[in-house]
Amino acid sequence: MTARHKALLGEFAELAMGLARDLHAAALAAPTPEEKAKLAQEFHRVGRGLRQSLALEARLDRAEARELVEEARRRREAEGEAFTLRRAKVRAAVKRLVWTETESEWDEHWERSLNLWLERLEDDDFVEAPIETVIARIREGMGIDFDDDRDDDDDLDAAPDAADDARAGSPNGASPPVHPP
């Protein structure tokens, strides 16, 4: 409901209430039963209009509240999707780093360590921070060291064919350890 609609309904309710008070006073002061009955009938009509105005205002307020709740739900859902996608990208990048920068294969130790770091970073600005910063914090925390002459962004932007390149360079053509996130 727009502010204008709300203001008009409020003003109408005030006018109707004022008229209802006047009709009530006039009905009580009416000299004849016929006049009293006629004024009571008008009082009833004005009262009905007032009740309908108040009911409409309440209904519009409820609809506005429902829309705000729905908008918040959609925003949380979108943020959740962004968070899930971000988490998957970070997980994949860290797995690539373990594969390319360490002598060990991905195992339960690395998985537990990554999960702990991801949980710790969820409390910080995980979604807002640049992905390179998040990965660098996890890499440092997990003890994954880069060669000094490598660019940190090389592994972050690796094309999907990087796994094929790694397989081609391995002695038996085996795939690097890939586990679902």
Half-sphere exposure of 129 (CA within 13 A, CB side): 16
Predicted local confidence at residue 45, as pLDDT = 93
pLDDT at 1 over 80: no
DSSP code of 1? -
**Of 174, 139, 173, the residue nearest 156 (C-alpha):** 139
Q: What is the pLDDT of residues 38-76, one digit of tens each?
A: 999 999 999 999 999 889 888 988 988 999 999 988 988
**Of 61, 70, 120, the residue nearest 90 (C-alpha):** 120
Predicted local confidence at residue 15, as pLDDT = 92
pTM of the full structure: 0.46
Tokens for 9? Answer: 């309904």
Query: Can you say whether residue 179 is alpha, beta or left, with left for phi > 0 and alpha for psi between -120 and 50 degrees?
Result: beta
DSSP code of 175? P
Round to the nearest angstrom and report the end-to-end CA distance of the chain: 45
Q: What is the pLDDT of residues 68-125, one digit of tens each?
A: 999 988 988 888 888 888 888 988 998 888 888 877 777 888 888 888 888 887 766 7
Predicted local confidence at residue 43, as pLDDT = 92
Contact call for residues 163 and 178 (beta carbons, < 8 A): yes
In this prediction, residues 145-163 reach a mean pLDDT of 47
Tokens for 48? Answer: 């009905």
Count the residues in the chain.
181
pLDDT at 164 over 70: no
Query: Domain extents for the chain?
Result: 3-74, 82-169
What string of DSSP letters covers 48-96?
Answer: HHHHHHHHHHHHHHHHHHHHHHHHHHHHHHHHHHHHHHHHHHHHHHHHH
